[in-house]
Structure 1
Amino acid sequence: MEMEMGDIHLYIVLFIPVVLSGIFIMSLNKRKLQRTPKLPPGSMGWPYIGETFQLYSQDPNVFFSTKQRRYGEIFKTNILGCPCVMLTSPEAAKFVLVTQAHLFKPTYPRCKERLIGPSAIFYHQGDYHMRLRKLVQGCLSPEAIRKIVPNIEATAISALESWSGGHIVNTYDEMKKFAFDIGILTIFGPLDTYYKEELKKNYLIVDKGYNSFPSYIPGTTYKNAILARKRLSEILSEIISQRKEKRREEKDLLGCLMNSKDEKGQILTDDQISDNIIGVLFAARDTTASVLTWILKYLHDDPKLLEAVKAEQKAIYKQNAEGSIPLTWAQTREMSLTYKVILESMRMASIISFTFREAVADVEYNGYLIPKGWKVMPLFRNIHHNPDFFPDPHKFDPSRFEVAPKPNTFLPFGNGVHACPGNEVAKLEMLIVVHHLATKFRWGVEKSRSGIQYGPFPVPQHGFPARFWKEPCSQIQHEVA
């Protein structure tokens, strides 16, 4: 039967809107799909373990740089059972750590958090974090620490003299002892020898267990660390109680924490104080010791640079009547070449290779999706070794810091609200140690070898074993064993 012309017209009138509606809906869905960000490129490795073995079985620099060359400045992986997004550009680091920091919370494994303490500053965001940061930063500001320059200097001299005599010392281990003593000085001021030794003994047990397998079986390294952490809390409670009995408002970090009150007049609990003190000790010791060890190696490897540093330091030494007058804060500000050596050492060594954050919501960055709950890792080492920002990046060249680095390209202390609040103390320690090494000591390296070992911070092979001698006269001679 033939269809009437009027019926055809009716079908056309009815069919065309349906077709157009379908095309419109398909177009919307297509646009929606186009707008939905995709995951970054990269490999997730094996189920659960991901690419953990690849990262920890080789130099991590090789792992990171290989990934960056293959996938670009943002890529995904899986480390220790956690899906991760790694970022290698200054813009990405700024996005995560500064401009959108509220979308990325600090994250640490529960087993590590338990050893330091859940109230420590670097586990938190928001009001509590800002309150603690303001306190710690105030107590460790240049205005506050300039008063303890003589105390840091006395500790440095004592440490260096204990190494002298020509016996072999593990430089990194000795620097850790020195940095711990400065941490104690900064937190407590002068402290009773008994408490100092008890803190050191138990801290070392906790430190040993920090990177061990988290087993709660009695006798294991981690279980011993848990017990030592409990003992640290008890020791700190005793020190706090004694401070309260004396009713003196000390200006050290402990005093600042004890005397702090929030807007409601609430003081910090003993546990909150203890967690933050232990957190400061953890943050202050190994990182500073690692940089100091690298400084010695870099100076040892460049005799011409070492002589220039000695010349700068000897000029100050002569101002102080051959060291009979203590250093001043103002003099540490005059050590321009030494300061550039410190900055270049931090860039080259990149002690903190990356930092961990966790996305608190789905986040879009540069067209890619960072899913809620994924770990996010700005890779400081990749940024520090990028030739676009630091020409010939594997060459040790302090002169590159005669001009300030581009923003967000030099991040040895992190960036944003979680940047290290103790960075001024750390740099002051380094300046003072180098001053006395360059003016009073000579040293020789025992079986010097190239290469890096990670534990977890990068240090020269075998902790840079060396011999130190105290100079009997003002003429400093550098000796290579």
Structure 2
Amino acid sequence: MLPCALSCLSVLGAAGTALLCAGLLLGLAQLLWTLRWMLSRDRASALPLPKGSMGWPFFGETLHWLVQGSRFHSARRERYGTVFKTHLLGRPVVRVSGAENVRTILLGEHRLVRSQWPQSAHILLGSHTLLGAVGEPHRRRRQVLARVFSRAALERYVPRLQGALRREVRAWCAARRPVAVYDAAKALTFRMAARILLGLRLDEAQCAELSRTFEQFVENLFSLPLDVPFSGLRKVLPPSPRPSSWGSLDAPAGHFFLKYILLIY
């Protein structure tokens, strides 16, 4: 009986020691994580950092943000005010709300602040996109794309858009069955974008597969920048089989858009 009691006590003692060590390690990691962001502040500025928390090492407050949703921002705004710091999706973030604060930021782009997307978006989109460009490259690319979506350019798309819409509505009427308007409209929008902007003629199977790939990409664009199994980033990064041809190229439809895209590079 006594050896059994001693054995139980030794197990409890070992478990308590392990928990104590784990708690100390977590506390030390939390302290070093907080210290890191305190030391990385801009020493050229005497202004203090906003109130807030950087959360747990590496994860920051991402898990809280995913679980709480919109309540995450409202709770911290009540606690810290309209400007607070946090750590989301692998990056330190300062959350700003209030009309006057937002106005200052929007009018100060490239002077006071510059736009920056989460690291996962940079990994998936690359550095040569409009979102990844800063300064003069960003200004030049934005000017080029503005011509693509100008009034004159949109007027050139109208006849093709009208034809596609008529054909789609006729197909809905001929089906003689209920139409899931949201899904059908979403598929139609995607198909017209591929046709009008890129000049691709896709059949139903190609359009459905490309649309699924696009939706999966968008759903995981803002995720933790960790390329590990079952992560959002891993779902998008691995290459997947594609048809040998994405349909024929409708040159008149896509030429106008593509020639301006080529100017960016």
TM-score category (smaller protein): 0.5 to 0.7
What pairs with 1:291-310 in structure 2 (closer than 5 Å)?
none
Which residue does 2:121 correspond to in 1? 112
What pairs with 1:282-297 in structure 2 (closer than 5 Å)?
none
State the 1:253 CA deviation: 1.1
* Higher CA-based Rg: 1
Q: Does 1:167 align with 2:171?
A: no
Which residue does 1:154 correspond to in 2? 163
State the 1:86 CA deviation: 0.7
- Deviation string for 1:43-92 (max 9, x for gaps)? 433444333233221341x3223333333321222223432211112332
Q: Does 1:127 align with 2:136?
A: yes
| Aligned with 1:56 (options 53, 66, 70) | 66
Residues 52 and 78 of structure 1 are in contact (CA less than 8 Å); yes or no, is this contact kept in structure 2? Answer: yes
CA distance in 2, matches of 1:163, 1:53: 43
CA distance in 1, matches of 2:147, 2:72: 39
State the 1:153 CA deviation: 2.8
Which residue does 2:108 correspond to in 1? 99
Instruction: For residue 145 of structure 1, give the secondary structure of its aligned residue in structure 2.
Output: helix
Residues 199 and 235 of structure 1 are in contact (CA less than 8 Å); yes or no, is this contact kept in structure 2? Answer: no
Gaps of at least 5 residues in structure 1 are 1-34, 261-266, 269-481
| Aligned with 1:176 (options 164, 180, 186) | 186
CA distance in 1, matches of 2:62, 2:178: 40
Instruction: For residue 84 of structure 2, give the secondary structure of its aligned residue in structure 1.
Output: strand
Q: Does 1:254 align with 2:258?
A: yes
Q: Flag the 1:135–1:215 CA change in 2: closer, same or farther, 3 A.
A: same
| Aligned with 1:140 (options 146, 149, 163) | 149
Residues 148 and 257 of structure 2 are in contact (CA less than 8 Å); yes or no, is this contact kept in structure 1? Answer: yes
Instruction: For residue 146 of structure 1, give the secondary structure of its aligned residue in structure 2.
Output: helix
Aligned length: 214
Which residue does 2:51 correspond to in 1? 41
State the 1:137 CA deviation: 0.7
Q: Flag the 1:156–1:64 CA change in 2: closer, same or farther, 3 A.
A: farther
Q: Flag the 1:90–1:119 CA change in 2: closer, same or farther, 3 A.
A: same
Q: Does 1:226 align with 2:223?
A: no
Gaps of at least 5 residues in structure 2 are 1-44
Which residue does 1:72 correspond to in 2? 81
* Greater RCO (Cα-Cα under 8 Å, separation 6 or more): 1
Instruction: For residue 85 of structure 2, give the secondary structure of its aligned residue in structure 1.
Output: strand
Instruction: For residue 47 of structure 2, give the secondary structure of its aligned residue in structure 1.
Output: coil
Residues 206 and 228 of structure 1 are in contact (CA less than 8 Å); yes or no, is this contact kept in structure 2? Answer: no
Question: What is the RMSD computed on CA atoms of the aligned residues?
Answer: 3.9
Which residue does 1:204 correspond to in 2? 212
Residues 249 and 255 of structure 1 are in contact (CA less than 8 Å); yes or no, is this contact kept in structure 2? Answer: no
% of aligned pairs identical? 23
Which residue does 1:193 correspond to in 2? 202
Residues 106 and 124 of structure 1 are in contact (CA less than 8 Å); yes or no, is this contact kept in structure 2? Answer: no
Letter in 2 for 1:187: L
